Amino acid sequence: MVSFDSRQYGRGSQKGRAMIAHAAARLIAENGCDHAQAKRKALRQLGLPETTPLPGDAEIDHALSAWQDVFEAGEQEGRITDLRRKALELMRILQDFSPYLTGSVLDGNAGRHAGIDLQLFADSAKEVEIFLLNQKLPFSAAAPRHERAEAAFTLDCEGTEVRLAIYPAKEERTAFKRHDGSTRARIRLPALESLLSGASGGAGEKCQKHEKMK
């Protein structure tokens, strides 16, 4: 483990925050850690105390984009397009629940191990569960990552994990926050279609096709 003098890199110094951000970004890119896990592991790798002020998620995302520009420049654009097309197809299937795309696939810095994050809004989580069962989409329950979420489900889309966060319908206009307090970006289906309109080909057949109910 590489160790640094906490007097030089601790106490919220810009240099210390940058060191942690870049170490965390590499962990996200190489191991698929989430931001919180990556920050903790970065502190241990750098030999800094747990009380060291941490960079925000946006700082880590900036470092992650820089890392990908150097080490994954040849594959990043294709990966993001592929993941967004998978998200598009699923959002079309789930459009009764006002789906939003959020997370690293939207931000454009999804790594090799990244999943797709979708927000759904329904009168009850049971409604979404019944829909998935009727559509014959295998899924499993998961622990919600956000305190406002009523439930969370995961499913597989051609080897990519898709995380569905189910919120009460009344929460749709809520501005959701990231761990660092910044507003989490999200887009609805028409915006994603516009985002992908310049990409060649259609949405593909990455996931099993199902007709929309009703």
Q: State residue 195 phi and psi, 5-degree precision.
A: -60, -35
Higher-confidence residue: 7 or 31? 31
- Give DSSP secondary structure letters for 107-174: HT---TT--EEEEEEES-HHHHHHHHHHTT---EEE--SSTT-SEEEEEEETTEEEEEEEEEGGGTT-
| Share of residues in the chain with pLDDT > 70 (%) | 85
pLDDT of residue 198: 65
pTM of the model: 0.73
Q: What is the pLDDT of residues 37-60, one digit of tens each?
A: 888 898 888 888 888 888 888 888
The two tokens of residue 113 are: 């191990």
Q: Is-contact 162 208, C-beta < 8 A?
A: no
Return the amino acid letter for 58: A
- Closest by Cα among 180, 190, 186, 138 to 162: 138
pLDDT category at 70 given cuts 50, 70, 90 is confident
Taking the C-alpha atoms of residue 152 and residue 167, their distance in angstroms, rounded to an integer, is 9
Residues 6+ apart with CB under 8 A from 74: none
Q: What is the pLDDT of residues 82-132, one digit of tens each?
A: 999 999 999 999 999 999 999 989 988 888 888 999 999 999 999 999 999
pLDDT of residue 135: 94
